[in-house]
Amino acid sequence: MTDENTTTTETAGTFGGMSTEQAVMMAATASNMVGRQQFANRAGLQFDGDRDLWEAFGYKRRFTYQDYLSWYKRGDIAKPIIDKPPETSWSERPEITDDADVGDENQTDFESDVEALFDADNNDTNLDRGLSHYLERADKLGRIGHYSVLFLGLTDVDDASELSEPVDEGELDGLDDLLFVTPLGEGDADVHEWVTDVTNPRNGLPETYKLDLANGDQTNTQIVHHSRVIHIAEGVLEDSVNGEPALRAVMNRLFDLQKIAGASAEAYWMVSNPGLALSVDPEFSDVPTEKMDKQVEEFENNFSRVLKLFGTDVEQLESQDVDPSNAVDAIMKLIAGTIEIPRRKLEGSERGELASSQDEANYLEKISARQESFCEPVILRAFLDRLLKFGVLTDPRGGSYTIDWPNLFQLTELEEAELKNQLSQAIQNLAPMGDVELLHSIEALREFSPIDEPDDATPPEDLEDVDEEIDEGDEQVQKQFDQQMGRSPAEADD
């Protein structure tokens, strides 16, 4: 499919099978990429390029999607760098409400449709899992590379050859017309055609994609129109297609960690088995060296733990422990500061600290901002608006809808227990002489509390006259008081 607004590698022309317009665009793109690469290559250079620190340190200058994917799969700390923000962002589903005023107890058809999409156990949709599952996967894939896509499987086509055609507005009718949702990473979703007409609102955006829909070793590449695809790119700068891979800014530090971890493991192996020094007595002239060499080899390879030597002294070499913790700490601080994720989250070493701790609060604040500035407009609203446009979802009765994200600062049970413990400690500290028993009334607690109360704060009516209602001389009252204080009758008499 080609027209005057798109360029494609299948367009015939006079420049190696390309049209003039496509050749110009490809040349400009190549020039732009070369310029960016030349600028990037300046990093790590000193003395007008005579010293290349990155080369000396073993750092790569260019990375492909497969490089990032390999680090994600086997790069240790690289996995939580990718996973943590999406997992936190989609940990609780947002509340999506119709802007129509129908009362709290009523639900519009739009709200029912959205509820069905998010409900993994709902049989009204063809999705095997709830919608959050697919959105989170696409979010993670987008962070590995420059972008990811959500491929929408719809019932408007009879065979795969029709996937290159656009979906007409209002062509579908209900949730049953959404067959599947497939998240794909950059490596399985190449841009096939670009819009190049400067009068087109989609200028510079993909017209069609080449999607690899294969499972296992099978090949299934299809040309798919952009209307069937939700494009997801985070951290876009110079264009709206390519975002910033989450690992790129810390790749040098990941290489450093890999070198330290590998060298530490090798050093531990060498330290645990430092080796032997064999000294042959010069008075022995007929030493069976071949037999000795064979015994030493068997000893080193754990085939034998006994050495039978002749005229030879054996001494174990000294070794020195290697502690990489200081180097690892320095690198982890740089990584955590760069990606703005608390180190204890990256390392999985959370100890039930209160969510109000500074690093946790800062992280959740950034995630909350990420939900509103990226997850909502780029992923969730883009998905829902596309389904509304095609007729998969019922239109909101109020003409629009609102997305409310859950409060990320809610305390866990462990955090609530810790908070209650701190509160009890605070009450004890506020008590005169540390004796909480002297705080016999709300007024007493207020007297020793530094916290200002609102002007309209009043104690319950049954407590206001507590001093007048209790007769301290009453024997029964005194007995109950002693029981509350844990005092025996003998102690009370004293």
Average pLDDT over residues 51-78: 87
Rounded distance between C-alpha atoms, residue 304 and residue 307, angstroms: 8
CB 221 within 8 A of CB 160: no
3-state secondary structure at position 8: strand
Average pLDDT, the chain: 79
The model's pLDDT over 324-341, given as tens digits with 9 standing for 90+, comes to 889 999 999 999 999 999
pLDDT for residue 215 is more than 60: yes
Closest by Cα among 203, 154, 123 to 386: 154
Instruction: Band the pLDDT of 437: cuts 50, 70, 90.
Output: low
The model's pLDDT over 216-263, given as tens digits with 9 standing for 90+, comes to 777 889 999 999 999 999 999 988 999 999 999 999 999 999 888 888
Instruction: Band the pLDDT of 368: cuts 50, 70, 90.
Output: very high
Phi, psi angle pair for 313, to nearest 5°? -95, 135
CB 329 within 8 A of CB 248: no
Cβ atoms within 10 Å of 91's Cβ, excluding its own:
12
- Confidence (pLDDT) at 456: 55
CB 108 within 8 A of CB 50: no
The model's pLDDT over 41-52, given as tens digits with 9 standing for 90+, comes to 556 666 566 677
Beta strands in 284-426 (DSSP E): 312-316, 401-404
pLDDT for residue 207 is more than 90: yes
Cβ atoms within 10 Å of 208's Cβ, excluding its own:
26
Token digits of residue 16: 């190696």
Give bridge partners of residue 183 from the DSSP assignment.
150
- Confidence (pLDDT) at 458: 55
pLDDT for residue 11 is more than 60: no
Q: Which of the residue ranges 19-33, 334-348, 356-370, 401-415 would you say has the lowest mean pLDDT? A: 19-33
Instruction: Band the pLDDT of 422: cuts 50, 70, 90.
Output: confident
Q: Is the dihedral of CA 23, 27, 33, 36 positive or negative?
A: negative
What does the H/E/C string look like for the chain? CCCCCEEECCCCCCECCECHHHHHHHHHHHHHHHHHHHHHCCCCEECCCCEEHHHHHCCCCCCCHHHHHHHHHHCCCHHHHHHHHHHHHCCCCCEEEECCCCCCCCCCHHHHHHHHHHCCCCCCCCCCCCHHHHHHHHHHHHHHCCCEEEEEEECCCCCHHHHHCCCCCCCCCCHHHEEEEEEEEHHHEEEEEEECCCCCCCCCCEEEEEEECCCCCCCCEEEEEHHHEEEECCCCCCCCCCCCCCCHHHHHHHHHHHHHHHHHHHHHHHHHCCCEEEEECCCCCCCCHHHHHHHHHHHHCCCCCCCCCCCEEEEECCCCCCCCHHHHHHHHHHHHHHHCCCHHHHHCCCCCCCCCCHHHHHHHHHHHHHHHHHHHHHHHHHHHHHHHHHCCCCCCCCCCEEEECCCCCCCCHHHHHHHHHHHHHHHHHHCHHHCHHHCCCHHHHHHHCCCCCCCCCCCCHHHHCHHHHCCCCCHHHHHHHHHHHCCCHHHHHC
Average pLDDT over residues 187-199: 95
* Residue 25 CA neighbour count, 13 Å, CB half: 19
Cβ atoms within 10 Å of 89's Cβ, excluding its own:
23
Rounded distance between C-alpha atoms, residue 248 and residue 338, angstroms: 11
**Torsion angle defined by CA atoms of residues 194, 196, 200 and 203, in that order, rounded to the nearest 10 degrees:** 60
- Confidence (pLDDT) at 12: 38
pLDDT for residue 157 is more than 70: yes
Q: Which of 10-24, 102-116, 345-359, 378-392 has the highest mean pLDDT?
A: 378-392
CB 83 within 8 A of CB 73: no
